[in-house]
Each structure stands twice: as structure tokens, then as C-alpha cells.
């Protein structure tokens, strides 16, 4: 009997060690910056999106060439916790209309909005493209997943008012993690110059999107890996994985919102968009692009996407 109990205890200890080890691997791979592995991480994320990006690359490359020919400058400011944050600024005209655009996970400011740059430039908008903490040229070891980035976003909003003047009109536009960032920011006290928010394929919280990935991509139960990762993140990065949830924060929103999502998004399920929309306290619009995978909506149906942006702008920009 003693041998049986010893064997059972050993098995339980082994399983517990495996869970802890798996959780640590998940945490280090997902929540921490990997210097020198940015492109590899981005390729993995893009593959999980389910989108064939190769077919869009000729358009993206063409617009990137034009974008880089436009006047632009590098900007830096310091976060509340002492990180040096970077952004690229493209001024247009009198700089009185500005889109602050927030990129997705493992990306950077000068990547996710190349496609939309023509639209914003043609409509007279300046563009501010921040690198999220632990991404691009911004400092940081731990990724904020919107929970920390929303406060960094507020700093860029305040910078914009100081740079462009009290009469500037600002739109916040975010994709994926950037979408979660701008929606989480609606729960903060925003400058009055912020007129609206556009969120494309935003998730509700890191906890919920990670749970979805574990279940649907790795076929693993979220418990107890998510709970272990949550405790680690509280100690290391200073926030819990469901501490800030976009679906909760938007209950405090006062500015209008346009929510966009692809119907075939398996990385961030479309039901997260519906939940956020139902909870959104301010004026709201929703656009579901049929057949679009994660972050593909603009390229899947550019006319419908740009039409929704134009309609939204007519409502919120003077």
C-alpha cells in the first residue's frame, strides 16, 4: 500500500510539475519580449490568424513605398513606469485631424497601418503610429496586452493636443491588441479632443483570448495554466490577465465607437465583438466583414471598410 501511495504521489507531483512547466513556457513565450525573435513571433501570429497575407503583399509594398516618401518624424516620451516609448508621426496639412493608430501583438507602429495610410492621408488626417511597450523601438520586457498600453495611449493623446493644439480632432484606431487598447482606454478620462474610437478585431481580455487559443489551437484546457500565468504576470508585469477587460471598460465609454470584426476570425472570435458592442455605453456602430479572418477585414472588403470609416467620420468629425 505504501508503494501505491508513493507512486500516486509521484504521479501527482509529476503532473503538477508539468503544469507549472507548461505555464512558464506559455508565459515566457507569450507575455515577454523576445529580442531578435520579432519576425519569427510575428510570422507565428500571422499564421494563427488564418489569413493568406502573401496575396495582399503587392498592395502593402506599394503603399509602404508611398508612405515612407511622406514627411515623418520619430517621437519619444516616457511612460508612467519609466519606459522610453517610440512613435512615428506623419503630419498632414494643418494637423487638425489626427488618427492615432495602435498595432497588434508582435507587430509595430509602422506595420499594421500601411494599408490604411492612403485612406487617412487622402482624407486629410495626420497619423501617429506608436510602438506598444515591448514592441518595435519602445522599451519594455513585459507586453501590456492593452491593460498597460491604455495608459501609454493616454500619454500619446495628451502629446497630440500639445503638439497640434486645443482644436485638434483625434480618432483612436486599434487592431487586435491595439483594438483592445483603445477600447480599454474608453474607461479612462480622455481629452475632449478625442472624438471617436475604431476597434478592429479587438479582444475582451488577455485571459479570454489566451483561453481561446489554448482550447482551439493547442487543444489544451485553460485550467490551471491560465491561472498560473495570471499569478506570475501579477508579480512580474504588475497586472492580472483579466484585470482590465474591454467588455467591462466600455460600459464607461462616452465617445462614439465603430467596431469591426471578421466573421471567420478564429484567433479572436467574433462573439467578443458582439459582447463589447452590447456593453458599449456610448453611441456605437458595428461592421462584420463576411469571410474575413483575423485582421483581414480591411483587405477583404476595402470599399465596405472605408465606407464605414467615412460614415463614422461624418458623425464625429466637424
Q: Which of 185, 202, 169, 177 is nearest to 106 (CA)?
A: 177
Overall domain count for the chain: 1
- 85 located within any domain: yes
CATH number of the domain at 82, please.
3.40.50.1820
- 12 located within any domain: no
- 15 located within any domain: no
Residues of the domain holding 137: 31-205+244-316
Q: Return the DSSP state at 132.
A: P
Q: Is 140 left (phi over 0), alpha (psi -120 to 50) or beta?
A: left
Q: Cell numbers at residue 78, please?
A: 516616457
Q: Which of 295, 316, 314, 265 is nearest to 116 (CA)?
A: 295
Q: Is 58 exposed, middle or buried (0-12, 13-18, 19+ CB in 10 A)?
A: exposed
- 235 located within any domain: no
Q: Cell numbers at residue 22, please?
A: 507548461
Based on its alpha-carbon atoms, the radius of gyration of the chain, rounded to whole angstroms, reads 20
From the centroid of its chain, how far is CA 124? 24
- pLDDT tens digits for range 83-113: 999 999 999 999 999 999 999 999 999 999 9
Q: Mean pLDDT lowest for which of 17-26, 57-66, 165-174, 186-195?
A: 17-26
As a whole number, mean pLDDT of residues 290-317 equals 98
3-state helix, strand and coil shares in percent for the chain, rounded to the nearest 5 = 50, 15, 35
- 16 located within any domain: no
- pLDDT for 58 equals 97
- pLDDT for 43 equals 60
- pLDDT tens digits for range 238-259: 999 999 999 999 999 999 999 9
As a whole number, mean pLDDT of residues 173-179 equals 98
In the predicted structure, residue 159 carries a pLDDT above the cut 90: yes
- 250 located within any domain: yes
Instruction: Label residue 303 by pLDDT band (50, 70, 90).
Output: very high
Contacts for 61-70: CB closer than 8 Å, 24+ residues apart: 63/114, 63/115, 63/117, 63/118, 64/114, 66/117, 66/118, 67/114, 67/117, 70/121
- pLDDT tens digits for range 25-71: 668 888 999 765 455 555 655 566 678 899 999 999 999 999 999 99
Amino acid at each position: 500500500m505504501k508503494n501505491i501511495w508513493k507512486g500516486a504521489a509521484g504521479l501527482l507531483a509529476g503532473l503538477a510539475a508539468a503544469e507549472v512547466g507548461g505555464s512558464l513556457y506559455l508565459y515566457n513565450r507569450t507575455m515577454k519580449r523576445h529580442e531578435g525573435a520579432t519576425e519569427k513571433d510575428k510570422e507565428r501570429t500571422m499564421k494563427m490568424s488564418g489569413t493568406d497575407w502573401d496575396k495582399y503583399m503587392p498592395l502593402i509594398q506599394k503603399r509602404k513605398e508611398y508612405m515612407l516618401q511622406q514627411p515623418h518624424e520619430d517621437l519619444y516620451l516616457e511612460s508612467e513606469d519609466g519606459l522610453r516609448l517610440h512613435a512615428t508621426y506623419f503630419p498632414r496639412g494643418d494637423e487638425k485631424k489626427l488618427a492615432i493608430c495602435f498595432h497588434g501583438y508582435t507587430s509595430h507602429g509602422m506595420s499594421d497601418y500601411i494599408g490604411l495610410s492612403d485612406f487617412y492621408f487622402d482624407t486629410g488626417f495626420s497619423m501617429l503610429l506608436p510602438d506598444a511597450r515591448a514592441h518595435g523601438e519602445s522599451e519594455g520586457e513585459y507586453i501590456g496586452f492593452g491593460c498597460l498600453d491604455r495608459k501609454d495611449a493616454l500619454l500619446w493623446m495628451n502629446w497630440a493636443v500639445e503638439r497640434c493644439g486645443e482644436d485638434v480632432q483625434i480618432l483612436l484606431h486599434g487592431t487586435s491588441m491595439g483594438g483592445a487598447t483603445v477600447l480599454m482606454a474608453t474607461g479612462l478620462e480622455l481629452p475632449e479632443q478625442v472624438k471617436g474610437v475604431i476597434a478592429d478585431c479587438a479582444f475582451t481580455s488577455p485571459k479570454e483570448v489566451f483561453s481561446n487559443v489554448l482550447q482551439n489551437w493547442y487543444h489544451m484546457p485553460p485550467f490551471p495554466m491560465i491561472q498560473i500565468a495570471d499569478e506570475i504576470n501579477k508579480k512580474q508585469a504588475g497586472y492580472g490577465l483579466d484585470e482590465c477587460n474591454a467588455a467591462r471598460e466600455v460600459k464607461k465609454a462616452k465617445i462614439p465607437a465603430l467596431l469591426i470584426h471578421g466573421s471567420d476570425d478564429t484567433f479572436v472570435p467574433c462573439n467578443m465583438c458582439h459582447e463589447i458592442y452590447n456593453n458599449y455605453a456610448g453611441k456605437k456602430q458595428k461592421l462584420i466583414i463576411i469571410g474575413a479572418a483575423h485582421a483581414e477585414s480591411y483587405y477583404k472588403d476595402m470599399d465596405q471598410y472605408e465606407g464605414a470609416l467615412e460614415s463614422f467620420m461624418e458623425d464625429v468629425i466637424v
